[in-house]
Amino acid sequence: MRVSKAQAQANREHIVETASKVFRERGFDGVGVADLMAAAGFTHGGFYKHFGSKADLMAQASANSLAQSLASAEAMSVKGFIDVYVSREHRDGRSTGCTLAALCGDAARQSTELKSAFAEGIEHLLQTLGEKYPTGPDAAAGEARVKMIDLLARAVGAIMLSRACPDDSALADEILAVCHTQMSESLN
């Protein structure tokens, strides 16, 4: 049975969306093409009708989930971003959380195409947060960008460190609490 172009595009988008969640949950190397397609409700055989390789899907899924993170950040203040990002809910929501916290370590060992998708997502997030950072008239040029690079690195690091601890660990919660407090105070 032949599938219409519109249905093929919808199927492709569904696979990308599903893969972005599964990759965040299990990592790039923690899931194979057959498992990804099964999670999306398709057979393994149809994969190559949509993607040239698993690496191609990894880059597209990462770009998709990074764009979702950006859309969420656009609706928040910098303080709101800290409150949502450096939280137990975000820490525990691996498959729906930020791609940076879930996959930066994996991305560092992947193709230039995938790294480029991450770099683009990071750049857009820095720009979005930088536009929201309140600087005074005496602020040095680039102050907001420097502050947002520091903030984003600490936020991602806090989630990664917290996730590296057992789920019920007091240390996991302590890392989040300390980082949240320090980051919030740094905005003043």
Structure tokens at 24: 């965040």
Residue 5 lies in a domain: no
Q: Tokens 């569904």 belong to which residue?
A: 14
Residue 154 lies in a domain: yes
What pLDDT does residue 137 have?
62
CATH number at residue 117: 1.10.357.10
Residue 106 lies in a domain: yes
Residue 120 contacts residue 141 (beta carbons within 8 Å): no
Residue 60 contacts residue 51 (beta carbons within 8 Å): yes
Q: Which long-range contacts (CB under 8 A, 24 or more apart) does 123-126 make?
A: 124/66, 124/70, 125/66, 125/69, 125/70, 125/73, 125/100, 125/152, 126/152
What pLDDT does residue 43 have?
87
Burial-class residue 8 by CB neighbours within 10 Å (0-12, 13-18, 19+).
middle
Residue 45 lies in a domain: no
Structure tokens at 53: 């390789």
Sign of the CA dihedral running 38, 46, 3, 18? positive
pLDDT beyond 70 at 139: no
What pLDDT does residue 103 have?
95
Mean pLDDT of the chain: 91
Tens of pLDDT, residues 80-108 = 999 999 999 999 999 999 999 999 999 99
Dihedral of CA atoms 86, 87, 91, 94 in degrees, nearest 10, equals -90
d(CA 64, CA 42): 20
Q: What percentage of the chain exceeds 70 in pLDDT?
A: 96
User: What's the longest Cα–Cα distance across the chain?
Assistant: 66
What pLDDT does residue 121 have?
94
pTM: 0.88
The number of domains in the chain is 1
Residue 48 lies in a domain: no
Residue 14 lies in a domain: no
Q: Which residue has the higher pLDDT, 133 or 163?
A: 163
Tens of pLDDT, residues 105-129 = 999 999 999 999 999 999 999 999 8
Task: Please report which confidence band the pLDDT of residue 142 belongs to, taking 50, 70 and 90 as the band edges.
Answer: confident
Task: Please report which confidence band the pLDDT of residue 3 belongs to, taking 50, 70 and 90 as the band edges.
Answer: confident
Residue 58 contacts residue 28 (beta carbons within 8 Å): yes
Domain assignment of residue 169, given as a range: 55-186
Candidates 123, 81, 105, 84; CA nearest to 161 is 105
